[in-house]
Amino acid sequence: MSFLRNEKVRGILYQLITIVGFVLFIMYIAQNTSDNIEARGIKSGLDFMQSTAGFDITETPLEFNHTSTHWDVFKVGLANTLIVSAFGIVLATILGLIIGVARLSSNWIISRLANGYIEIFRNLPILLQILFWYNVVLASMPSVRQSYNFFGSIFINQRGVYTPRPIFEDGSWLIAAGFIIALLAGWLIYKWSTKRHDETGQEFPVFLVNLGLLITLPILAYLIAGSPVSFEYPVFKGFNFQGGRTFTPEFLALLFALTIYTATFIAEAVRSGIEAVNKGQKEAATSLGLTPTQSLKFVVLPQAVRIAIPPIINQYLNLAKNSSLAAAIGYPELVTVFAGTSLNITGQALEIIGITMLTYLVISLFVSAILNWFNKKMKIKER
């Protein structure tokens, strides 16, 4: 037994014992669960996914009716989760960046307003904010007949926001192609302008040029294709609006709460990133004759973003997971319709909860992988 006196050998032995113990524990839990399921006569397996759901979903981006299967329920719930998460991430990023920069403004009023926003919404539970937007703000909107009317095409009332819905016909792919070409051209222009700036120090209006391309090329494609996109406008008929696109109060309340709550943490990450930039960098930018705006754009923000990305990644993941709180107001995301309604109908809790947990895990790992790749690309390479 003298080999046990070797610290390296003991370390390996302890790790093996830990692994074996963990595997045996998992096997015991699995076997115990299987025995209990069999003893209670509970059905197991995934056959229920192909059975008829027997209920409708009020808000679905996919085709769905009461004859659809529980697999369709899962797809609709996942689609709604991804939609609200994507919108929330984009809006929270924009709002967080603005508030984070405003927090450090030399204007006392702007700075105090930004600080007040952060302190208020960061310290209120997000579930309470969801209920506030749903039961207080959106519920106070006017009735359908007294809807707020914007340009005769956008209507806001207690039942949501009604907007025109685009209808894509033959030839619409040319518009998408024009948009993609504009993005590729914008990327090439950015690379060229960066190289030109490094070599000559001359600036190029990259933003304005790329914005012009993003507007001009799709419009040209639209005209060349013969106007293949039309709009269906909401029209008041009977007791409600018909046609167009509807954003329900449930979706809006969840989106507002997720955006406003997450933006507070992103704002703090941006603020801390800006403050972490060495003071000498800012002084060097001033000595080169850069204006405060140019200094922020070319010197401070590029370095601050590199520092802020890791905590911002965590906030994106939290936003996606916090979308499950939509069950409190009935927005048909994954937890509400699949881990809620489908579970109550089928009674197969183990499979449904397992699938739901695995889905959120995959979403989180996918978002994390993309942003970690972006974080790696943004790192300053040592010479």
Q: What pTM was computed for the model?
A: 0.79
Give the E-state strand segments of 146-298 in sequence order: 148-150, 154-157, 160-163, 165-168, 229-232, 235-237, 240-242, 245-247
Provide φ and ψ at 69, rounded to 5°.
-95, 170
Same domain, 274 and 366: yes
Which of these three, 174, 208, 232, is where a domain ends? 232
* pLDDT, position 214: 85
* pLDDT, position 94: 92
> 3-state class of 349 per DSSP?
helix
The three-state (H, E, C) secondary structure of 11-41, written as one string? HHHHHHHHHHHHHHHHHHHHHHHHHHHHHCC
* Averages of pLDDT over each 10 residues, the chain, 383 residues: 66 84 86 72 73 83 84 90 92 92 86 91 92 89 83 84 82 82 86 79 78 85 80 80 84 93 92 81 76 75 79 88 89 88 82 89 87 72 53
Whether 73 is covered by a domain: the verdict is no
Nearest to 268 by CA among 103, 86, 33: 103
Same domain, 275 and 320: yes
Domain extent for 9? 2-39
Same domain, 145 and 169: no
Whether 67 is covered by a domain: the verdict is no
Same domain, 146 and 169: no
Provide φ and ψ at 36, rounded to 5°.
-65, -40
Which CATH number does the domain housing residue 297 bear?
1.10.3720.10
Same domain, 214 and 252: no
Same domain, 142 and 263: yes
* pLDDT, position 261: 94
Task: In whole angstroms, give the CA distance from residue 304 to residue 271.
Answer: 8
* pLDDT, position 379: 64
Whether 240 is covered by a domain: the verdict is no
Same domain, 367 and 262: yes
Same domain, 123 and 267: yes
Same domain, 351 and 213: no
* pLDDT, position 256: 93
Same domain, 137 and 13: no
* pLDDT, position 380: 59
Whether 354 is covered by a domain: the verdict is yes
Task: In whole angstroms, give the CA distance from residue 85 to residue 222.
Answer: 30
Whether 70 is covered by a domain: the verdict is no
Which of these three, 232, 256, 285, is where a domain ends? 232
Which of these three, 200, 232, 264, is where a domain ends? 232
Same domain, 187 and 300: no
Helix (H) or strand (E) holding 313: helix 301-322
Same domain, 357 and 330: yes
Q: How many domains does the chain have?
A: 3
Whether 57 is covered by a domain: the verdict is no
